[in-house]
Amino acid sequence: MADTVKIFFIADIVGEPGLSLLETIFPSIREKYKPDFIIANAENSHEGRGLNQSIVKRLYELEVDVITGGNHSFDKWKIFSYMKTDDRLLRPLNYPKGNSGYGYGVYPIKNRDEKVAVLNLQGRTFMQAIDDPFSASDWALSKIREETNLIFVDFHAEATAEKLAYAWYVDGTVSAVVGTHTHIPTADARILPGGTGYITDAGMTGPFDSVIGMDKQTSIKRFTLGTPQRYKIADKDNRMCGVLMEIDSESNKCLSIKSVIYPEFSNTSSKNE
Ligand SMILES: [Fe+2]
């Protein structure tokens, strides 16, 4: 009989506000959805840029199985040596050869026979010029398929078009593509015709009384003055964004994909409630 594998993805964790919120609410979310495998993007978890070993430990204590990254994965140089030792801590695969760390991995699922692969890629549009994520994906998928066809991709990119183009490129060959980096959850969670679950951006686990996690006034100055400002993280209106996927363990196709946001956004003024 066909069975399902439930994967829960925790969207980009921003700083201590995001981490603390996660530690408060994730145990009950985990209990509610009972995922078989948990993935979290933590490239912004250390004061908004990068991450460190103690954050990795805190996420493992929450039963996160694999941590993904992005353009801030390499911001804290102290993590470089640790990255080489932990294949559950990923950074985008398509950084040039010679960088520390792993870009994908194949992992056992607790109490089950299946294995799941997690592949972390980064787009190039409006981002630094790194290697081609499409050909990097071709290479990685050829390796991964020797071990499993249950494949999750975190595609970390600025441009909606690049994330969607990638999803169409791999439709039917991976179980799910979840976009990260822009920190605003999109309302397009869907299953593509080939059976790949897709969402353009999972959102953010962190302070939404902000500009994508950054203090509002600092961010406004960046735009009004056109000069860099000292990065200051916001701390109010913390929410957890995530994506829950159910994958058919025989066909490895996505059966359902949906955003999970706590607390949910309201589009009504609190004065009217
Ligand atoms: Fe990013």
**Per-residue pLDDT, 268:** 87
Beta bridge partners of 262: 240
Give the C-alpha separation, 57 to 108, whole Å. 19
Ligand 1 centre and the CA of 72: distance in Å?
Answer: 6
Q: Are 199 and 243 in contact (CB under 8 A)?
A: yes
**Per-residue pLDDT, 50:** 94
Domain membership flag for residue 194: yes
Q: Is 72 labeled as catalytic in the residue annotation?
A: yes
Domain membership flag for residue 218: no
The mean pLDDT of the chain is 96
**Per-residue pLDDT, 2:** 53
pLDDT in tens, 213-246: 999 999 999 999 999 888 899 999 999 999 999 9
pLDDT in tens, 44-66: 999 999 999 999 999 999 999 99
Ligand 1 centre and the CA of 71: distance in Å?
Answer: 5
Ligand 1 centre and the CA of 95: distance in Å?
Answer: 14
Q: Are 12 and 202 in contact (CB under 8 A)?
A: yes
Domain membership flag for residue 217: no
pLDDT in tens, 87-140: 999 999 999 999 999 999 999 999 999 999 999 999 999 999 999 999 999 999
pLDDT at 210 over 90: yes
With a pLDDT cut of 90, the percent of the chain lying above it is 93
Domain range spanning residue 261? 4-207+236-272
Domain membership flag for residue 17: yes
Cis ω before 263 (30° cut-off from 0): yes
Ligand 1 centre and the CA of 121: distance in Å?
Answer: 11
pTM for this prediction: 0.96
Ligand 1 centre and the CA of 127: distance in Å?
Answer: 9
**Per-residue pLDDT, 230:** 87
In degrees and rounded to multiples of 5, residue 247 shows phi and psi of -115, 135
Ligand 1 centre and the CA of 43: distance in Å?
Answer: 7
Q: How many domains does the chain have?
A: 1
DSSP state, residue 271: G
CATH of residue 133's domain is 3.60.21.10
Ligand 1 centre and the CA of 70: distance in Å?
Answer: 5
First and final CA of the chain: distance in angstroms? 47
Domain membership flag for residue 222: no
Q: Which is catalytic among the residues 72, 156, 181, 183?
A: 72
Q: Give the burial string for 227-253 (b: 16+ CB within 10 Å, else e).
A: eeeeeebbbeebbbbbbbbbbbbeebb
pLDDT at 1 over 50: no
CA-wise closest residue to 167 among 101, 103, 257: 257
pLDDT at 270 over 80: no
pLDDT at 269 over 90: no
pLDDT average, residue stretch 128-155? 98
In degrees and rounded to multiples of 5, residue 257 shows phi and psi of -150, 130
pLDDT at 273 over 60: no
pLDDT at 71 over 80: yes
Q: Give the burial string for 19-43 (b: 16+ CB within 10 Å, else e).
A: bebbeebbeebeeeeebbbbbbbbb
Lowest mean pLDDT, pick from 44-48, 141-145, 201-205: 44-48
